[in-house]
Amino acid sequence: MQIDKKIENGTLTLTPAGSIDYVTAPEMDEIIEAEAPSVRSIIIDMAGVPYISSAGLRTILNADELMEDKDGIRLKNVNNDVMSILRMSGFLDTLNIIGPE
């Protein structure tokens, strides 16, 4: 999976292209775990993510946990399919999510 990575003013912005699932989630986990200590917040641009599986949800939870004592994480450009999974799994209440721009 192609994941664009950008660090600006202590914010890590990840732009994955493709679904975040059982196969692709570990790649993202790796990047997040590697960069987390050096950033204050994480933004995941979900514009290129058609759907997300529970493995992807775990990745997001993981990132949220890592940023818990810092400035947190944000999801943006979340499409409807992904949004419905987030809603179903109860993530909407705990995450900072920005809809499609």
Q: Nearest distance from residue 74's CB to another protein, in Å?
A: 17
Q: Is 90 in the site for another protein (CB under 8 A)?
A: yes
21 or 35: CB nearest another protein = 21
3-state secondary structure the chain: CEEEEEEECCEEEEEEECCECCCCHHHHHHHHHHHHHHCCEEEEECCCCCCECHHHHHHHHHHHHHCCCCCCEEEECCCHHHHHHHHHCCCCCCCEECCCC
Question: Is position 94 an interface residue for another protein (rule: CB under 8 A)?
Answer: yes
Provide the token pair at 75.
């999801």
Stretch 40-69: interaction string toward another protein, x if CB under 8 A: ----------xxxxxx-xx--xx-xx----
The two structure tokens encoding residue 28: 């993202």
- Does 23 bind another protein (CB under 8 A)? Our answer is yes
Residues that bind another protein (CB under 8 A): 19, 21-23, 50-55, 57-58, 61-62, 64-65, 81, 85, 88-91, 94
